[in-house]
Structures are given as structure tokens and as C-alpha cells.
Structure 1
Amino acid sequence: MKKTSLLLIVCFFSFQLFFAQGAPDYNGGMKVKLNEEGTKYFRIISWAQFWAQHNPDRPLDGNGNEQSDLDFSIRRARVLMYAQLNKKFLILTHFGLNSLNADNMSAIGTGENSQLFFHDVWGEYQLTNDHAIGGGLHYWNGISRANNQSTLNMMTLDNTRQAWATIGLSDQFARHMGIYLKGKFGKLQYRLAINDALTDNLQVNATPTNGAAIYSGRRLLGSKEAGRAYAGYLDYNFLDQESNFLPYKVGSYLGSKKVFNVGAGFFLHPKGSVSLDNNAELQGEDVSIFAVDAFYDAPIGSNGAAITAYALAQFNDYGENFTLGQTYETGKMLHAHLGYVIPGSKSTKFQPYLHYTNRSIDAIDDNANQFGLGANAYFSGHHSKLTLEYQNTKYGSFDAIGSITLQAMIYL
């Protein structure tokens, strides 16, 4: 079984290597100018990520049957469009699906598992050349660079899951409904937001207890008392200045820029969690998440070599002894990743990388550790690439789980 699974992975790799050839010149993608000056236009971006994942440690299914070591899935399939009537006004819409596989597909695509939904829908007004205000379902998040990560140009196979620290708790898939202010003062960029917190979240059926909080403040205490969340992120651009036209942070520039940023951010949700006091009455607990991080991406010499490095320290307080699904915990997290573009051909680039995450978990008085080793093959930058990664995760006293994933990505 294992030999067959590995053979299929190799075949899948070869298939995508042959067919996943992006255009050699991107030239801004699909952008349509509606006037001669180019101030009125719309742009469409589309991308898809296909996964083949080998995991010999998968648990039994709901009927007690063993599951295959090898699975195929569409990790992401998205379409994003933004348009400007003029330099003052912008509207953006972004829809798609995530993690579509044989277990959550529906027979004719219309069942309760249908995953196509809006990720972003917001409008923006330019206040000055450097500052703008906007509102809607948006991705102008706080906390860290990783919590604002673009899924178009990640260096690692995927983002650190716990860095997206509020998905399904206070927001819809890392997007809040609210208003934001963004801009820059010289080399200091900022984003601030006031948002409505989600009511029907991942703990919509959870019941509070004494000694352990659940993330159900808005549902159980009401929107007036626990309905608002506040977020912000600031980063100082020491070298090349990054664009903040859109909120999505680049994972790796492959040496095309020389960037060194240091940032800090926060997320606050007053009475976002609840628990029972000694009299079995509901009490609200404030949710607070803080982080500091640093990002470096630069060419090395003139032969195409480059380095990408990122470090993050995140401090999570979801309430007393909060834990949910081995993903969200009150405690702290340290994460780092490092990648190196091997010098060589301009058309094809290879980038080995490694990443490591350590999490402390108050509820179980123990740690979780994750290690990953992988490599990217770029055929047209991030527009056409393959990623192969081995990942090993150890959570508390549970046995470590290892997996091998191959990703093929097209971005137009």
C-alpha cells in the first residue's frame, strides 16, 4: 500500500510538471483599462492549488474503517477581482472554495457541504495619497504578517495555521465584517479595524463550564456587550517599501526585492469568551492576542540566489484554559521559517526551506511542536510552481504524526 501510494505521488508530480507551465511573461495579468489614462480599470486574478497528500497515520473513519494513505484535494480555488472608477474609489470581490475532497464533495454540487462562498467584499475610499478608509467583509487584519498572509505566494506549503488566530471564532475564514483604516507614515505602514464578531461560530453548540472558557461571548451575552472586535498591525519597512494597496502580505519575493520589516499587532475582543463562575453564572472573559514579527527577503550576490526568513512570537489569551481542536489554545507560539533560492537558471528556480513552530498550551500544561522540510520548484515565479513538503506534528502526549504533501499551483 505504501509503495503504491508513493508511486502515485511520483506520477502526480510528473503529470503536473508537464502540464503546469505558466506564461513566461506575466505583465500584470488580466487587467483591463477602461480609459486611456488607466485610472478606470478592473483586474481579475485566478489561482488554484492541487494537493496529493500521503499520511499513513490517518485515524479511522466514522464507520471504524481504515482510510487510504493517499488523498487528493483542491486546497484552494479562488477568483479575485478589483476595480477602480477613479483613483479615489476601489471595490474588491473575492470568492472561491477551500480543501475540497472526496469526503466533503456533494453529488451535484449543491448539498450542505458546498464550499463556494465570498471571502472578501469591500469598498474603499482614498482619503489622501497615503491613507484610505474602507468597509465590508475584509482582510485588513491585525496581529501579524502571517495573519495577513497572501495565499498566492507563500514560501512554505501553507501558512502556519495558528497564525490565522481567529478563523471561525470571531470571523468568517479570516475575514471580519467591519470598517478599516490603512495607510503609511513614511516607512511605517499601519492597518486598524473595528469589526462585528461572528455569532454562529465554531462553538455555536458549546456549553460553558467552570474553569474553561468557550468562544461564545456574542452568542450568550449579546452583541451590545460582546459584539465588537478590534485589530491592528504596524510594520516598519527599513529597506524596499512594500505595497499596501491590497492587504495580502507576500510570503517570498524570490530575491526580486530587498525587504526587511519589523512589525507588531493585536486583536482584542472584549468578553469574547465566557465561562461559569462559582455560582454557575455566566461571566465574560476578554480575548486578547498580541504578536511581534520580523521578515527579511533579499538577493544574495548577482547569480540569482536569495534568502527568505520570517520569525513570529504570538501570545494568545482566549480565556481561561481555552482549547479547541488542537488548533486554538490560550498560551504562546513561536514560529520561524527559512528558505534559500539556489542560484541557477532564470526561468526555473529551486528553493529548499524549513519551518518550525512551538506552542505552549495552558489547558493541558504541555507543548505542541511542528517541523517541516520542503522545496519549491518555480517555473514562472509563483505563477507556476510545485511544492513538496514533509511535516511532522507532535501535540502534547499524543504520538507524532508525519505527512508528505505535493502541491501544484497555477496563478494567473
Structure 2
Amino acid sequence: MAYSQDTIKPKTPEIAAKKNPLDIGELKINLNPKGDKWLKFSVSSQIWLRNIENNPGTAVNSIPQQETYDAGMRRMRLTIQSQITPFYTVFIQVGANNQNFISGGGSGTGTNGAGKKAAFFFHDAYNELAIVPRNNFQTGQLNKNNIYMGVGLHSWNGVSRMTNGSTTKMLAGDLPIFNFPTIEIADQFSRQFGVFVHGEFNRLNYRFSVNKPFATNIKPSIGGGAVDNNQNGKLSFAGYTYYQFFNKEITATSFLAGNNLAVKKILNVGAGFYTNKNATLTQPKENVFESHNASIFGTDIYSEIPVGNQKKEMGLTLYSVFYHYNYGPNYLRTSGIMNPGTADPDFTGQKALEGAGNNRFLMGTGNIFFTQAGFVLPKFSKILKVQPFFSYALKDLKALHEKGSYYDVGANFFLYGQNAKIVAQYSSRPIYDAVSKIIFDRKGEFLLGLYIVL
């Protein structure tokens, strides 16, 4: 199949495989006859159609609204990878995200309104050097141990597999987002500037980085929870390793698949971390400030198991992860993807602590357990393949007085392998009372997603 930002494939015997009848080839330009200098391209698009049950007290375009229909661009990406020499590569990814009729664009109204002209920016931009390559450049023989080093704006992240998750090989309609511990706060769409190293020691795959987090300077309220404020500018440290018991995965880019349709037997067990000294700030008394370290740890397991008759192409995909987050006392974050809502100033009913629209509590100081599973149904068509899935998150956050359960249920309809699919999904989230901080309601969201990658 065609590569994407997470499936760019080096030309080596290590990944030689039986030709997929749906393979549409690579978007690749060789720069010399030998083929060891090249440019590769990838284009991906994710369009969402949704029906959202809004949180209590929501206004959309200044009109009170309990339910909202919308269409939007979740992700649109262009990826370029260049191998200048067999030892040196450049990786660039640009794109736009989260644009719908009212969010993700410019400010104000009129020509450059709130939903118009979404920002198109660099997601990744780094250079990488092969210290010990995966394959010997002269003989083509596999090196069991390899190591690569790079520098730039990158997503060779720590903590978990899903913190390094591919957005073109997801099991559900989207990643849960709390897998990115500093998303759009101390990072740029889960990327930071820094130096990274990655590679393999036989079956142990590893990645580590030292980065300079993006600056934050939110001012804490007196007696309130910790907020993002890293004004003294300390470095962050991150790492993730996983052991591969069966088939090995190729990590030519940082992105790890969450769904390979269980075509090969995989069992990986991993663990990782992210730390940043003095990342947050509290104000326990007026004009008395205390800094707090951010420390996030995760451990996970990922498995893909082909099932039954090989000709039926059935398979089970499983993933589970446990996160422990410590951002300081009562740190709490909310998020609503492409949120169409704002607070209704005239609302007098029971208010949601999360705020308006489809906001939910994303993460905070505390623990989160997440698990998901999908099963590829027996083959019944040369074109269509169906994979029902389910995911569940249990969030135990210190700033709240009750644990919250979040779930998604749906199915993937693959029309051309993973190059083209449609996702149908229903998601349910709890709603917390603004005063008692306990759950008083639940709201849902229907998603129909159209995904293309070339």
C-alpha cells in the first residue's frame, strides 16, 4: 500500500513482503540511478461529519443550542521525506487541523471569520543521521542493533505507544488526545524542538529525547489548581521503549500504528516517561507562588493476532495503557475537538464544569486507564473490509470528586486497504456539576469520518 507519514518504507530486504493486491505504490522520485537518493511524498485527508449533544449552557454562534450538526477538516497533511545520502535524511510534515464552520480559523467575523482560513503550519521538521543503519548500506544485510540521531521539531515522544501514535492507522475514529501529555500547551501539536535518538537493540525498540518546551505563562488563581507556567525555561526529557515478542515493526518514522488489520502476529510490551522541571505554577496565597514539576509515566501492551483460516483475513487488535500524570496540585485540562460552542450568558440551569459545546475533561494530575479492541470480520468482498471496534477510558483525576468513564463504539469500513476508509462511531462522555464536581449527566457525539492517505 502507499506510504504515509507513519509508513514511509526504506528500500531494504528487512521489509520485503508479499505484494498486496491493493498496493498503489509509493509517491517517490529517485534522484540517482542507484536509488539511494530520493524524495518521497504523502498526502492524507480526514473529513468529519458530526452530530453533537452539547453540554448544558451552550450557545453556538450566540444562539442557545442543545444539539449541533457540523462538518469539518480534522486533519489535512503533506509529508516530504528526502534521503540525501544513505546516512542522512530530512523529514518534513505540514498541514492544517480542526477547521469547521466556526472554529479553527481566524478571529472575528467576515472575510477572515472564526472558521475560515485555518493555519497551515509545520508539524515536523527535522534532520536525521544514521549512526548504525538498519541494514548495511554495502551488503544490504540486516543489523540487529541500530541507532539513529536527529535534531529539529519532532515527534519522537516518550510515555507510550499512543503518544507516538499514527493518525493514519488508528483503530478508532481518533486518538483519545490525553495520550499527548502536553498537547498544544508546551508543544506544537505534540511536537517539541530538541535532540532525539532512536533505534533497536535486537528486539528492544527505543526512543529518547531532550527538548526545549514551548513557553507557557498562565497566571494561577489564589488557592486554585496548578496551571501551565514554565517561565524559567527548563528542558524536558522523554523516552519510550518496547519489547517485540513476535514480528518486528519498522520505525522509519516516529509514528507507531494502532491498527494493522492484524495481518501479522504482534505482541509488544512498553513503558515510557516525560519529565519537565518547574512546568506548572500555583498561588497558594496572594503573591506567593510555587513551581511544580511535570512527570508522566506510562506502561502499555499492544497485540495483533490473526484468527482462523488465513484466507478469511480475520484478526484481533488489542491495546491497553495506564498513565500516571503529575502536573502539580489539582491540575486539570478540558478539551473539545473542533468545539462549536461557547458559554450561554443567559443560561440558568445546572452548569457543566467542563464548559460549553463538546468539552470534556481531557487529563490532569491523577491516573487514566485506556483500552481498545477491534476485530476484522471474515472476508466477504474483494473491496470492502469491516472492523468493529470499542474503546474505553477510566479517568481518576484529583481535582474531581468522581471517576469518569468515557467510551467509543463503532466500525471501520476499509474500501482500499488503509488507503481509504469510512469510520462510523458513537462516543459518550460524562458531564460534571460545576459546584459539586460529580457526574450529573452524559452526552454523546456521532461521527462519520472519511479518511484518505496516498
Shared topology, TM-score over 0.5? yes
Compute the displacement of 1:176 (Å).
0.6
- State whether structure 2 residue 26 is matched by structure 1 residue 29: yes
> One-letter code of the match for 2:449?
Q
Q: Which residue number corresponds to residue 411 of structure 2?
A: 375
Counting aligned pairs with the same residue, the percent is 27
- Partner AA of 2:179 in structure 1: A
CA distance in 2: counterparts of 1:108 and 1:399, whole angstroms: 38
* Pairs within 5 Å for 1:93-172: 93-104=92-103, 105-106=105-106, 114-129=118-133, 130-172=146-188
Confirm or deny that 1:322 pairs with 2:331: yes
Cα offset for 1:29?
A: 2.2
Q: Match of 1:192?
A: 208
The offset of 1:110, in angstroms, is 9.4
**Offset, 1:318:** 0.9
* Alpha-carbon displacement from aligned partner over 1:97-142 (angstroms, at most 9, x marks no partner): 1111110345656989632111010000111121011011000000
Q: Give, in whole Å, the separation in 1 of the partners of 2:112 and 2:30.
A: 35
Structure 1: 5+ residue runs without aligned partners? 1-22
The aligned residue for residue 385 of structure 2 is 349
Q: Which residue of 2 aligns with 1:52?
A: 49
Residue in 1 that maps onto 2:83: 84
Which residue is 1:232 aligned to? 239
* Residues 1:177 and 1:359: Cα distance change in structure 2 (over 3 Å): same
Q: 1:250-274 CA distances to partner (integer Å, 9 max, x unpaired)?
A: 1111122211100000000111111
Shift of 1:181: 0.7
Q: CA RMSD in A?
A: 2.0
Can you give the 5+ residue segments of structure 2 that lack an aligned partner in the other structure? 1-19, 134-145, 335-360, 433-438
Q: Distance in 1 between matches of 2:176 and 2:410?
A: 14
Contact 1:61/1:67 (CA < 8 Å) preserved in 2?
no
Q: Aligned partners of 1:395 and 1:38: how far apart in 2?
A: 56
Which one of the candidate residues 309, 312, 315 is aligned to 1:306? 315
The CA distance in 1 between the partners of 2:34 and 2:52, in whole Å, is 53
Amino acid aligned to 1:102 = F
> CA distance change for structure 1 residues 209 and 191 in 2, over 3 Å: closer, same or farther?
farther
Distance in 1 between the 2:36 and 2:113 partners?
39
- The alignment partner of 1:147 has SS state of helix
For 1:376 and 1:410, locate their aligned partners in 2 and report how far apart those are by CA, in whole Å.
Answer: 13
Hey, what's the Cα distance between the residues in 2 that align with 1:114 and 1:340?
A: 36
Match of 2:422 among 365, 368, 386: 386
Q: Distance in 1 between matches of 2:112 and 2:169?
A: 29
One-letter amino acid matched to 1:410? I
Q: Is the 8 A contact 2:218 2:227 kept in 1?
A: no
Compare 105-114 and 157-166 and name the one that shifted more. Answer: 105-114
1:31 shift after superposition: 1.2
The structure with the largest helix share of the pair is 1
Corresponding letter in the other structure for 1:155:
L
Q: 1 or 2 for the larger relative contact order (CA 8 Å, sep ≥6)?
A: 2
Aligned match of 1:361: 397
Matches within 5 A, 1:240-255: 240-255=247-262
**Bigger shift: 330-339 or 60-69?**
60-69
Contact 1:367 1:395 survives alignment (8 Å): no
> How far has the Cα of 1:78 moved from its partner?
0.5
Q: Give the alignment's TM-score, normalised by structure 2.
A: 0.80
Shift of 1:56: 3.4
Task: Report the number of matched residues.
Answer: 381
Q: Cα offset for 1:354?
A: 0.5
Is the Cα–Cα contact under 8 Å of residues 48 and 450 in structure 2 kept in the other structure?
yes
Amino acid at match of 1:284: S
Residue 28 of structure 1 deviates from its aligned partner by: 3.7
From 397, 403, 407, the equivalent of 2:445 is 403
Q: Indicate which of 260, 269, 283 corresponds to 2:267.
A: 260
CA contact (8 A) 1:144 1:264 kept: yes
- CA deviations on 1:4-50 (whole Å, 9 max, x unpaired) are xxxxxxxxxxxxxxxxxxx9643442011112222100110001011
2:369 is equivalent to residue 334 of structure 1: yes
- CA distance in 1: counterparts of 2:185 and 2:237, whole angstroms: 14
